[in-house]
Structure 1
Amino acid sequence: MKRKFVFILSFFITACLLAGCSNYRELRDAAFIAGIGIDWLKEKQRYQITFQAFSPSPAGSSSSSGSGSGPPGSALFMAEGRTISEAARQASKKFSRMPDYSHVRIVIIGDDLAKSESLNFIFDVFERDANIRANIPVLIARGTSGKEVLSVIPATEHPVESINGKVKNSAKMQGENQATEVYQIINQLSSKGSEPTIGGISVVASKDPSSPNKKATKLSGMGIIKEGKLVGWLDGTKSKSISFLNNQIIQTNESIRCDSHQYTSVRITDSRSKIKVRMNSGRPEIVIHVNALGVLDEMLCNRKIMDYDVLHEYEQKTSNNILSHIRDGINQAKSQKSDIFGFGDILHRQHPEQWKKNENRWNDVFSKSKVSIHVNFNLHGTSMRIEPYPYK
């Protein structure tokens, strides 16, 4: 009897597993959304949403369905609405297949929307919708719209994959344009001790003759957010300050002047920061210690790198470069009264009683802070060669 019961139970379990998922959908019935652009149409007082969609095509098919152009099987769909949700549902009138949001890879916020509308409301829909993942990277269309960014079609790859690749490469190789994901923005918008930064992307003239529309996308700074709105930008090496203070440096290069007109390149391979924040007479005192390591990866000067004085000079100049990036980034944030580095959160952890007295006016308090930065950089290698070639 017991053996018979086990057999029947095993049969039912197997039958349930073979039955498949209740929300199963044929691939040919789905349009997968890869990218979402969200813009604000001021003259209409409406949101405009742009979908970069793709659908599995039959073997050998190279046709593109939809209202826009793009790689085989992809298209742009646009719609308007009084809310983002309404605009998304209006777009369903243009889809011949059921939209699937489980493959969204990028969200682009238009410049006008980022400046005029609080991101708190924009990301409300992302937090409520269980069909959209919370780890999607977000960018701001600097000086343009999300629609315009998603309309740029690279010659050899999918538009969304092209943008994602640029973000990953810049973060990994330069320590700039770090990807900020939806859940990170939501967490920082909910915090009184930290403001988000969001990478920028611009549309520029393409120099590639094979580009279909003679346009290209280019990463452009990190947007400074205050109380949910875009208020300024960290450009160039200033944006490295975020990576250094958040311990996100994978590698980056510093060009060190070694004579009147030549430079030596140092590749930073590791960086760790420690930060202390406390209040002193109503003013925050922020003390930052950064320890970094790197290697010499290009030498254009006729200097003996193994001489202690030369080695120490390069280490000191690299330390000064790093210090300059961090100082300039913090000063830019202070001028915008936006604590994008999370110093308030650090004060909350280290001195909760001091934080409680200042949390409701922290951005104003932060703008008056005294910051001390200490950087120690050590060269631990010269790559595959020691002395410059040729050395005379």
Structure 2
Amino acid sequence: MKMLSWLLIIILFVPILSGCWNRRELNELAIVAALAIDKTGDNYLVTAQVIDPGQVSTNGGGGGRAPVTTYSEKGKHIFEAVRRMTTITPRKLYFSHLQMLVISEEVAREGMNNTLDFLTRDPEFRKDFYIVVSRELNASQILKNLSPIEKIPAQKMRSSLETSQKAWAPTIAIQMDELISSLTSDGSNPVLTGITIKGEGDDGQTLQNVERIEPFARLKYKNIAVFKKDKLIGWLNEKESKGYNYIKDKVENTVGPIPCEKKGELIIEVIRSKTKVKGKFINGKPTIDIQIRSEANIAEVACQIDLTDPNAIRKIEKKTDKVNINILKTSIARAKKLGVDIYGFGEVIHRTDPKAWKSLKKNWNQEFTHLPITIHSDFKIRRTGTVNQSFLKKE
């Protein structure tokens, strides 16, 4: 009897285990690489950048078509606009391979909560795509720009964002989880990198844009957008954006000019940087202490200086300390002017004294504008390059 019962259970489960009951074939899906969200009147305008498999396949001979195509539809809600696209797409849109989300400046200023709710609620969206804000143009225009080297524009945007953060510093690659964490934190506000088009945007939508040595238009990351909770309230310039990344300990590699003792400048390349932010209370008032330790190589010399002289190197290090401190102070001053803590200083204060934080968190952005902040920089030159003396000295 017991054996018969087990046999009946096995028979009941066999139909369930005997195949992929919810399978979706690749030729039935339209893979979305990037998504753009604009506002038109009271409606959202959603644009999807869809990959053309035949044009990106290594075995495909190509048919003179673009590697991607875009579909756009309007709706009072984002999900409504997405489903309305089925009236013009040959296949159902598939979002699990989404790489970039571009939000227009207008949508960002009104607030991103409605946008992010759909993206976090739908299980088809993974959370590893990057989010940026289109600056001075519609988000849909960003998705229509064809780029050389990378066939899929979304892949170009993703790799360029990652590379610029690692090698330049005034940009930051933010994924969905990081953005949600900043939005829900009491002691921090989110930031996103801005993106725009350099050149003639309309010409960048044609295949001729990737057939020229110098394309008509290129996508370019530009500055960091500052949010108060989910609403865009301002922008950091290049210097202020670099200062933000220094404070957040996100600088891996960057370059910058340092004034020489006499006429001219030299360029240093930061190869390592570590920032520690500590909080403490002095006379019952919160304060922040920032310590930056950086190492760099001399990359370019455009002045007369003896790099074999240890005293000259020490002077460069001291001047670099001053330059770094100025970069951070400039960034903090801009954030205080905007009235938002984008550095997570509130979280630092919370960890320092959770009890005191309870009385501070309600008006933390206002407290932040008066927060005393001290900055210490310890900068070291490691290498001076393959030559000690610049040919400028001989000339």
Normalising by structure 1, we get a TM-score of 0.88
2:154 aligned with 1:160:
yes
Amino acid at match of 2:109: K
In 2, Cα distance between equivalents of 1:261 and 1:219: 33
**Where does residue 128 of structure 2 map in the other structure?**
135
**Where does residue 126 of structure 1 map in the other structure?**
119
Structure 2 CA distance for partners of 1:349 and 1:147, relative to 1, 3 Å: same
In 1, Cα distance between equivalents of 2:51 and 2:63: 11
In 2, Cα distance between equivalents of 1:119 and 1:23: 32
Deviation track 1:121-156 (CA, whole Å, cap 9, x = no partner) reads 321111111111112110000111111111112244
TM-superposed deviation, 1:111: 0.8
Structure 2 CA distance for partners of 1:87 and 1:261, relative to 1, 3 Å: farther
| More displaced stretch, 309-318 vs 152-161 | 152-161
* 1:348 alignment partner, SS class: helix
2:57 aligned with 1:55:
no
**Where does residue 265 of structure 2 map in the other structure?**
263
In 2, Cα distance between equivalents of 1:81 and 1:229: 21
Whether the aligned pair in 1 keeps the contact of 2:209 and 2:217 (CA below 8 Å) is yes
Q: How does 1:87-106 map to 2 (within 5 A)?
A: 87-106=81-100
In 2, Cα distance between equivalents of 1:61 and 1:50: 28
TM-superposed deviation, 1:279: 4.3
TM-superposed deviation, 1:55: 3.5
In 2, Cα distance between equivalents of 1:334 and 1:121: 27
| More displaced stretch, 258-267 vs 219-228 | 258-267
TM-superposed deviation, 1:358: 0.8
**Where does residue 102 of structure 2 map in the other structure?**
108
2:187 aligned with 1:177:
no
* 2:90 alignment partner, SS class: coil
In 2, Cα distance between equivalents of 1:23 and 1:388: 68
* 2:335 alignment partner, SS class: helix
Q: How does 1:52-91 map to 2 (within 5 A)?
A: 52-57=49-54, 60=60, 62-63=62-63, 71-72=66-67, 74-91=68-85
In 2, Cα distance between equivalents of 1:206 and 1:81: 29
Whether the aligned pair in 2 keeps the contact of 1:28 and 1:56 (CA below 8 Å) is no
Deviation track 1:274-308 (CA, whole Å, cap 9, x = no partner) reads 11223446753111111111111112223111212
Coordinate RMSD, CA, aligned: 2.5
Which one of 363, 366, 391 corresponds to residue 364 of structure 1?
366
Count of equivalent residues? 370
Deviation track 1:73-110 (CA, whole Å, cap 9, x = no partner) reads x2100011111111111112111112111110000000
Whether the aligned pair in 2 keeps the contact of 1:254 and 1:318 (CA below 8 Å) is no
| More displaced stretch, 335-344 vs 379-388 | 379-388
Q: How does 1:299-310 map to 2 (within 5 A)?
A: 299-310=301-312
**Where does residue 320 of structure 2 map in the other structure?**
318
Identity %: 25
Whether the aligned pair in 1 keeps the contact of 2:51 and 2:152 (CA below 8 Å) is no
Q: How does 1:120-269 map to 2 (within 5 A)?
A: 120-156=113-149, 157-206=151-200, 210-211=208-209, 214-258=216-260, 261-269=263-271
User: What are the ranges of 5 or more consecutive residues in structure 2 without an aligned counterpart?
Assistant: 1-14
| More displaced stretch, 186-195 vs 20-29 | 20-29
In 2, Cα distance between equivalents of 1:350 and 1:98: 51
**Where does residue 332 of structure 1 map in the other structure?**
334
TM-superposed deviation, 1:56: 1.9
Deviation track 1:243-301 (CA, whole Å, cap 9, x = no partner) reads 21222111011211225542211111111111122344675311111111111111222
TM-superposed deviation, 1:16: 9.8
